[in-house]
Structure 1
Amino acid sequence: MNKFFVKNSTGILKKVLLCSPDYMKLQPINVIAEKWIKENNGLNIEKCIKEHKDLIKAYEENGVEVVLMEPEENLTNEVFARDFGACIREGYILGNFKKPIRYGETEAYKKKMKELGVPCVAKVSKGYFEGGDFWFLDDNTLAIGVIARTDETAIGEIRDQIGKFGYNIIPIKCAEENLHLDMCFNIVDEKIAVACKSALPDHFLRILEEKEFELIDIPQEGVFEHHCNLQALGNRRVISLKSNTKVNKKLKDCGIKVIELELEEILKSGGGPHCMTFPLKRI
Structure 2
Amino acid sequence: MPEPAATSLPGPAWRVPSETGPLREVLLCPPDHYRWIPTNSIVRRTLAGDNQAPAAAHLKAQHAELVHAIGQGGAEVRLIAPEPHLPYMAYTRDSVVVTHRGPVLCQLERPQRRGEYAALIDFHAAHGSNLWRKSSAGTLEGGDIHIIRPGLAAIGASGGRTDRAGADQLAGWLREEGWEVRVEEFDEHFLHLDVLFCMAADGLAVACEEVLDPAFLGWLRAHGIRWIPVPYRAAMSLGCNILALGNGRVVSARESTDLNAALRAEGLEVLDPALSLFTAGGGGPHCLTCPLRRDA
The 5-angstrom pairing of residues 49-68 of structure 1 reads 49-68=60-79
1-side partners of 2:138 and 2:231: how far apart? 31
2-side partners of 1:3 and 1:75: how far apart? 27
2-side partners of 1:137 and 1:66: how far apart? 22
User: What do the CA deviations read for 1:94-123 (whole angstroms, capped 9, x no partner)?
Assistant: 110110000110111111112122221111
Return the offset for 1:173.
1.0
**1:15 and 2:25 correspond:** yes
Candidates 129, 143, 149, aligned match of 2:140: 129
The 5-angstrom pairing of residues 224-235 of structure 1 reads 224-235=236-247
**How high is the TM-score relative to the length of structure 1?**
0.96
Secondary structure in 2 aligned to 1:170? Answer: strand
Residue type at the aligned position of 2:138: G
2-side partners of 1:76 and 1:281: how far apart? 25
The 5-angstrom pairing of residues 214-253 of structure 1 reads 214-253=226-265
Partner of 1:96: 107
2-side partners of 1:191 and 1:140: how far apart? 14
Residue type at the aligned position of 2:181: I
1-side partners of 2:128 and 2:209: how far apart? 38
Partner of 2:219: 207
Return the offset for 1:40.
5.3
Partner of 2:154: 143
Candidates 6, 19, 24, aligned match of 2:16: 6
Structure 1 stretches of 4+ moved >4 Å: none
Partner of 1:29: 39
User: What do the CA deviations read for 1:172-214 (whole angstroms, capped 9, x no partner)?
Assistant: 1112111111110010010111100121112211111111222
Conserved 8 A contact 1:144-1:170: yes
Conserved 8 A contact 2:255-2:275: no
Partner of 2:6: none
Partner of 1:280: 292
Secondary structure in 2 aligned to 1:96? Answer: coil
Structure 2's unaligned 5+ residue stretches are 1-11
Partner of 2:81: 70
Q: How many residues align?
A: 282
Conserved 8 A contact 1:191-1:213: yes
Partner of 2:120: 109
1-side partners of 2:171 and 2:236: how far apart? 30
Residue type at the aligned position of 1:137: I
Evaluate the alpha carbon distance shift between residue 112 and residue 3 of structure 1 in structure 2; reply closer, same or farther with a 3 A threshold: closer
What do you get for the CA RMSD once the two structures are aligned?
1.5
Secondary structure in 1 aligned to 2:94? Answer: helix
Structure (1/2) with the larger helix percentage: 1
Return the offset for 1:153.
0.5
Return the offset for 1:162.
4.1
